[in-house]
Amino acid sequence: MEKYSLPELPFDYKDLEPYITEETLHFHHNKHHQAYVNNLNAAVDKHPELFEKSVEELLANLDAVPEDIRQAVKNNGGGVANHTLYWNSMAKGGGQPGGELAEAINKIFGSFEDFKQKFEEEGLKRFGSGWVWLVKNSSGELEILSTANQDTPLSDGKIPILLNDVWEHAYYLQYKNLRADYLKAWWNIVNWQMAEKRFNME
């Protein structure tokens, strides 16, 4: 059975400049994300039949993961899946959402600007390491939330639409301790086409 592997970035390392530097991306992708992949493989090696499942399937049903590796799968599987979606949440050029996603954002949050402000506030409020998400709940409505460490809304039955990484390693080389500046700059590279596809998934 095939083990989990580090996905390639959906863009070149230089493509997100100047908002995220090439140096930051190399460090984040090749070191941090790779470490989560390695640690997840080491855990699942103890129950190799689990390699038949995707990382997202494991996280969506953690109770079915053997107890002796459950925490390692939660931590490292979350690190793998969260980072993969983070890369896919970004693209050169950015822009604004369109279609049904734009309508849903306006309906729930009032306007795109209000949505951005709430998203940034949630990212700033996250104490320590974690993520800020736009998700679709079981009622099909959008929510902004944040999670600690490598926790994921997948484990609560919610569909992630996009997310931003607020661990210090995501921005510290460039923005130092100014998380607010990083959160604001990130809007310039959001992959709204990907977010619209995920929003329209059943």
List residues bridging with 148 in a β-sheet: 130
Same domain membership, residue 185 and residue 115 = yes
Same domain membership, residue 117 and residue 39 = no
Same domain membership, residue 116 and residue 69 = no
Same domain membership, residue 186 and residue 104 = yes
pLDDT of residue 1: 76
- 97, 171 contact by CB (below 8 A): no
Q: In tens digits, what is the pLDDT along the chain, a chain of 202 residues?
A: 799 999 999 999 999 999 999 999 999 999 999 999 999 999 999 999 999 999 999 999 999 999 999 999 999 999 999 999 999 999 998 889 999 999 999 999 999 999 999 999 999 999 999 999 999 999 999 999 999 999 999 999 999 999 999 999 999 999 999 999 999 999 999 999 999 999 998 6
In a domain, 120, yes or no: yes
Same domain membership, residue 181 and residue 108 = yes
Same domain membership, residue 136 and residue 162 = yes
Phi-psi region of 72 (alpha: psi -120 to 50; beta: other; left: phi over 0): alpha
Same domain membership, residue 104 and residue 79 = no
136: DSSP letter: E
User: Count of domains in the chain?
Assistant: 2
Nearest-CA neighbor of 77 among 93, 90, 65?
65
In a domain, 4, yes or no: no
Q: Residue 52 maps to which CATH number?
A: 1.10.287.990
Tell whether the torsion through CA atoms of 48, 31, 169 and 115 is positive or negative: negative
In a domain, 16, yes or no: no
Tell whether the torsion through CA atoms of 5, 185, 132 and 97 is positive or negative: negative
In a domain, 1, yes or no: no
pLDDT of residue 94: 84
Q: Which phi and psi angles does 177 have, rounded to 5°?
A: -95, 10
Report pTM. Answer: 0.96
Same domain membership, residue 119 and residue 84 = no
Same domain membership, residue 150 and residue 113 = yes
Same domain membership, residue 109 and residue 75 = no
Q: Which phi and psi angles does 30 have, rounded to 5°?
A: -75, -25
In a domain, 9, yes or no: no
In a domain, 113, yes or no: yes
Nearest-CA neighbor of 69 among 92, 91, 40, 97?
40
Same domain membership, residue 39 and residue 76 = yes
Give the domain-ending residue among 32, 61, 88.
88
Domain coverage including residue 80: 22-88
Give the domain-ending residue among 88, 110, 144.
88
Q: Residue 138 maps to which CATH number?
A: 3.55.40.20
145: DSSP letter: E
pLDDT of residue 202: 66
Same domain membership, residue 81 and residue 145 = no
pLDDT of residue 201: 86
